[in-house]
Amino acid sequence: QKGQNISVYGLLKEFRGQRYMIHPKIFSESSKEIGYIKPVYPLERFEEIKEISPSSQKRRKVLESAIQAILNYYKDHWENLKDILPEAFLKEHDLIPLSEAFKIIHAQESFQNYKLFESMLSKAKKRFLYEEIFIFELALLKRRSMVKSSKGYPIVADEDEIVKDVQNLISFPLTNAQKRAIKEIITDMKSSKPMNRLLQGDVGSGKTLVAIASALAVVQNGLQVALMVPTEILANQHYNNFQSFFSKYSKKYNIALLTSSSHSKSEIYKHISKGHIDIAVGTHALLQEKLSFNKLGLVIVDEQHRFGVAQRQTLLEKSEILPHMLHMSATPIPRTIAMGIFGDLDISVLDEMPSMRKPVKTAVLYSDSEKDMAFLINHIKKEISKGNKAYIIYPLIEESSKLDLKAAQSEYEKWKDTFKDHKVLLLHGKMNDKEKASLMEEFKESADILVSTTVIEVGIDVKEATTIVIEEAHRFGLSQLHQLRGRVGRSDRESYCFLMVNSAFVKSQKAQEQNATLKRLRTMVKTTDGFEISLEDLKLRGPGDVLGLSQSGYFKFNMADLTKEDHLKLMSSIRADIPKYKDQITKDLMWLTNKRYLQDKLIVA
């Protein structure tokens, strides 16, 4: 009843900033639990008690008894809990001691006044948030220091000469941002300490050429380069780009492609280990145990968030001397946020587009409007008549009963019918890597239209593609829409992006969802600037989702939330302050940092 005090038991979840419970148990006013929050300790967090009994009920009793015994011990001795954070840091940020924070979190029944408890709980949460971020950022700085104290291959190169060599072999001018990034990378690699650098830039900003220039400096020193990419299609594309560039170069360098469908893998392994291969381009096949490099001087990882820390570590361990490391990401984010998350990396930014690239013209069309569909079909026919190609993107392969989305498989047949005189192909994620690579090659060589799922989202480069149609555009995040749009406008040809939505669906959405959907689409129409789009996406979805880090085990926190901008700013701020407390970093704090993030092993993110 209204005004009645109740006690609620259940799993607390959060969605779009709102907290809720699924099927909670409700206790009446007579319940002794009313007035404070009673913690329920999750069994899965305590691996050790799994052996005690197959019954989860018995295990929970054991766990609660153990925790109660600890709490009883500390009941009158909370001050015995030793603080691990530097005292000056606690004072500067007005943080309560560890003992007090633990007491608030675990012995909540001692607070009879709920309002007082709520205020104290806020202080305890702040304390644990700052501690968690401090330890994470300390780990990043420690890891950076470990990398810098390791032995690497010092590269002997003249960065101006490398820029000149690259410029002489391409038909368009390098941007000032590309020249700056090349010089930063080569200057970094001249050190006997291994480079660990992030190269971030918008879609089409020319990261591949920067990677080629970096590789050129390394192979000129008689060292090998490994370029790892997430998909076979991308591996083929990078391999072709590297082959095309180095085939024009005065000295011959050997480049190998290594993917799951590569023939004669054992032969390629042998040539790489003997040093006969200068540049190895590949997918996860580069991580095979059988593969060892002769002198690995540089590792380039494209779309770095798609690989786990352990996978990148495996690649680094294929060389006795630590190679230089260049991470590439097509999701441009503000430097302050990047430093908080990737604080152990130096950062180079490509914030300028090649001069011959024209901004892609973007418009929203209604898929249930005969007029809009007639316009679209006519536009695609005109583009094909000029020798251009088109992508048509769907979110799913097959029809879904849960989500009323158009699917690539069924819609492909309709597009084939509409364009009977033209070659229409279908690409989707259920194809194996070899089929995808073969089909992309066929599209480049002889087809006019490619109907596809989002498998083409990253890095695909077909210069004749001038139109992309994104069906069910309201289902995609801003950054993903921008990545897809980046598949066109890869040359000096005028290019177009059409965002297709169902007018009835948009109108039927709740006001809040409708506003968010329309805001995304308007942002896409308004700008082609990836940094601006990324900032907007950060506001709408949060950095964790935008960067693909929310699902990453390495970034799982108890208190810190990567979807909150203020938490990310706090990460950068604490990271900048840590050197002030270097004399107060205790052995206990370093032990905890190693245990949580470093595991006594050199890991380069």
Highest mean pLDDT, choosing among 74-78, 365-369, 594-598: 365-369
Residue 74 pLDDT more than 70? Answer: no
The dihedral built from the CA positions of residue 139, 141, 143 and 146, taken in this order, carries a sign that is negative
The answer to whether the beta carbons of residues 195 and 324 sit under 8 Å apart is: yes
Residue 44 pLDDT more than 70? Answer: no
Q: Which of 437, 262, 307 is nearest to 277 (CA)?
A: 262
Q: For 444-469, how does the pLDDT look when each residue is reduced to its tens digit (9 = 90+)?
A: 999 999 999 887 766 578 999 999 99
Say which DSSP state 230 is in: S
Q: For 116-140, how does the pLDDT look when each residue is reduced to its tens digit (9 = 90+)?
A: 777 888 899 999 999 999 998 888 8
What per-residue confidence (pLDDT) applies to 601? 44
Q: What is the mean predicted confidence (pLDDT) over 255-271?
A: 88
54 vs 214, which has greater pLDDT? 214
Give CA angle at 144 (143, 150), nearest 5°. Answer: 90
Q: For 168-211, how does the pLDDT look when each residue is reduced to its tens digit (9 = 90+)?
A: 999 889 999 999 999 999 999 999 888 988 898 888 899 999 99
Using pLDDT thresholds of 50, 70 and 90, give the confidence band for residue 307.
very low
Q: What is the mean predicted confidence (pLDDT) over 370-379?
A: 96
Mean pLDDT of the chain: 81
Using pLDDT thresholds of 50, 70 and 90, give the confidence band for residue 600.
very low
Query: How far is the C-alpha of 524 from the C-alpha of 522, rounded, in Å?
Result: 5
Residue 423 pLDDT more than 90? Answer: yes
What per-residue confidence (pLDDT) applies to 555? 56
Q: What is the mean predicted confidence (pLDDT) over 330-341?
A: 66
Residue 218 pLDDT more than 90? Answer: yes
Q: What is the mean predicted confidence (pLDDT) over 245-273?
A: 90
257 vs 593, which has greater pLDDT? 257
Query: How far is the C-alpha of 56 from the C-alpha of 29, rounded, in Å?
Result: 29
324 vs 107, which has greater pLDDT? 324
What per-residue confidence (pLDDT) applies to 164? 96
H/E run at residue 569: helix 565-577
- The CA distances from residue 279 to 52, 76, 262, 333, 413, in Å, are 53, 65, 15, 30, 42
**Please, which residues bridge with residue 296 across strands?**
224
Q: What is the dihedral of CA 335, 557, 145, 591, to 10 degrees?
A: 160
Label each residue of 280-337 as H, E or C.
EEECHHHHCCCCCCCCEEEEEEECHHHCCHHHHHHHHCCCCCCCEEEEEECCCCCHHH
Three-state secondary-structure class, residue 449: strand
Q: For 1-16, how does the pLDDT look when each residue is reduced to its tens digit (9 = 90+)?
A: 777 777 777 877 765 5
Q: Which residue has the tokens 């607390």?
A: 12
The dihedral built from the CA positions of residue 567, 568, 572 and 573, taken in this order, carries a sign that is negative
Lowest mean pLDDT among 122-136, 243-257, 433-447: 433-447
What are the structural domains, with CATH classification, of the chain? Answer: 1-34 (no CATH), 42-146 (no CATH), 151-350 (3.40.50.300), 361-527 (3.40.50.300)
Give CA angle at 144 (140, 148), nearest 5°. Answer: 170
Residue 59 pLDDT more than 70? Answer: no
What per-residue confidence (pLDDT) applies to 551? 41
What per-residue confidence (pLDDT) applies to 157? 96
Query: How far is the C-alpha of 521 from the C-alpha of 526, rounded, in Å?
Result: 9
Residue 241 pLDDT more than 90? Answer: yes
Q: Which of 368, 308, 207 is nearest to 552 (CA)?
A: 308
Residue 56 pLDDT more than 90? Answer: no
Q: For 471-512, how does the pLDDT look when each residue is reduced to its tens digit (9 = 90+)?
A: 999 888 888 899 899 999 988 899 999 999 988 776 766 655
In this structure, the number of other CB atoms found within 10 A of the CB of residue 393 comes to 26
Percent of the chain surpassing pLDDT 90: 36
Using pLDDT thresholds of 50, 70 and 90, give the confidence band for residue 602.
very low
Q: For 536-587, how does the pLDDT look when each residue is reduced to its tens digit (9 = 90+)?
A: 776 666 655 555 554 444 456 788 876 677 887 898 899 889 999 988 888 8
**Please, which residues bridge with residue 390 across strands?**
449, 467
What per-residue confidence (pLDDT) applies to 402? 47
Whole-prediction pTM: 0.74
